[in-house]
Amino acid sequence: MMRIATVLAAALAVLSACASTVPARVTWGPSMRVTEGRVVSLGASDQRARVERSLGDAGIAVSDSSAPYQLRVDIGNSRRSKGCGSVNNVRYILYKGGVRILAIKARGPTGECQPNTFDDMSRLLATYFEGR
């Protein structure tokens, strides 16, 4: 009986670690200065409106065309659900002319949850734009 309890406790620890949050951090770059305004075109299908709101709150405008930078947002499978949204792996990749400039990764609550991973990642991204 003790062995079963130990196995269950270990399994629970592994599962909870998979759904834990990881703060936003730069994982690649920056490979060049980000100097041409604070406007990006956004490549995100999932939760696009929520990502746009986070970017706007961080002072980064979203344009549908001719922005100097392109931001791709990858959202992984839900790790855990909450009433306000889900916990996801998220990656922001900033490009200029097809060249990757910066990559940011995090894992945390998305959707309408507060605190929100999109907010944290957008604030971190904003610190790399010159002329703040």
What local confidence, expressed as pLDDT, does residue 3 receive? Answer: 61
What local confidence, expressed as pLDDT, does residue 16 receive? Answer: 41
pLDDT tens track, the chain, 132 positions: 556 555 444 444 434 444 588 999 999 988 888 888 899 999 877 899 999 999 999 999 999 878 999 999 999 988 778 788 889 999 999 999 999 999 999 999 999 999 999 999 999 999 999 865
Hey, is 22 helix, strand or coil?
A: strand
DSSP 46-108: TTHHHHHHHHHHTT-EE-SS--SEEEEEEE---SEEETTEEEEEEEEEEEETTEEEEEEEEEE
What local confidence, expressed as pLDDT, does residue 28 receive? Answer: 92
Domains and CATH numbers, the chain: 21-126 (3.30.160)
